Homo-oligomer: A and B are copies of this chain.
């Protein structure tokens, strides 16, 4: 078994044997917990800042498979909702100087024209995971991996703030066409929880009563007999998505704007 430094050396100096040059993926992994939309970030070594989990594309992988692999490595989850949404290809989006500095800090020699010092274009993906199920995990190229409140991500490296913004906008537009509620919420949830999710994604408040009427009108929710106990107030009903009806409704798009 290789140690961490050797693993890094191999990747830096021989990665181009297995990975495609110039092409990377970055994933905005969303979760929802305590009425907050969360994003999974990783801490860069020798840098105060955080970054989106990302990775490179093996020569025998599609972009989707690469994104799926990165997601699995970071959350332990399989078969997760994952969609590409934009290609980021600004000329100066990579930062070769930072990379070389990091390698110096790690004591790793980098030869001229190393594949990682060249320009990378990155395909942005967004993933929707059940917060409870995900187990944030770091690896050899990141110190820490943890959830952040969306409003609280601070300044990230490179164009990663822009990528998150773009992912959020995509999700907003696709709210009526993708099973976003289903993938972000646990199996059972309350109507207020679903509403908070919608409000967070849309960035505006919605009328509680109209929201419920419209949601139930779609016929995609099954109300359970249980209620959520433990809150300081009236116990709300629990709901489940009726997956069959949900899928059917999404094909045409849920009708009406927010």
Chain B residues with CB under 8 Å of A64's CB are 89
Chain B residues with CB under 8 Å of A86's CB are 84
Cβ contact within 8 Å between B90 and A62 = yes
A62, A89, A256, A257 interface centre (most CB from chain B within 10 Å): A89
Cβ contact within 8 Å between A62 and B84 = no
**Count the A residues whose beta carbon is within 8 Å of the partner chain — how many?**
26
Query: Contact flags (1/0) for A168-189 with B, using CB distance below 8 Å?
Result: 0000010001000000000000
**Do A87 and B22 contact each other (CB < 8 Å), given the known contacts A173-B177, A177-B173, A253-B257?**
no
- The chain B residue with its CB closest to the CB of A176 is B257
Cβ contact within 8 Å between A20 and B119 = yes
Question: Which of B21, B123, B257 contacts A21 (CB under 8 A)?
Answer: B21
Chain B residues with CB under 8 Å of A84's CB are 86-87
Chain B residues with CB under 8 Å of A21's CB are 21-22
Cβ contact within 8 Å between B123 and A59 = no
Cβ contact within 8 Å between A119 and B23 = no
Query: For residues 207 through 258 of chain A, which have their beta carbon under 8 Å from a beta carbon of chain B?
Result: 253, 255-257
State how many angstroms separate the Cβ of A214 from the closest Cβ of chain B: 14
Chain B residues with CB under 8 Å of A257's CB are 253, 255-256
Query: Contact flags (1/0) for A50-75 with B, using CB distance below 8 Å?
Result: 00000001011111100000000000
Whether, in the assembled complex, A121 has its beta carbon less than 8 Å from a beta carbon of chain B, the answer is: yes
Query: Contact flags (1/0) for A18-61 with B, using CB distance below 8 Å?
Result: 00111100000000000000000000000000000000010111
**Do A60 and B91 contact each other (CB < 8 Å), given the known contacts A119-B20, A255-B257?**
yes
29 residue pairs from A and B, CB less than 8 Å apart: A20-B22, A20-B119, A20-B121, A21-B21, A21-B22, A22-B22, A22-B23, A23-B23, A23-B121, A57-B89, A59-B119, A60-B91, A61-B91, A62-B89, A62-B90, A62-B91, A63-B87, A63-B89, A63-B121, A64-B89, A84-B86, A84-B87, A87-B87, A87-B123, A173-B173, A173-B177, A253-B257, A255-B257, A256-B257
17 A-B pairs besides A21-B21, A173-B177 with CB distance below 8 A are A20-B119, A20-B121, A22-B22, A23-B23, A59-B119, A61-B91, A62-B89, A62-B91, A63-B87, A63-B89, A63-B121, A64-B89, A84-B87, A87-B87, A173-B173, A253-B257, A256-B257
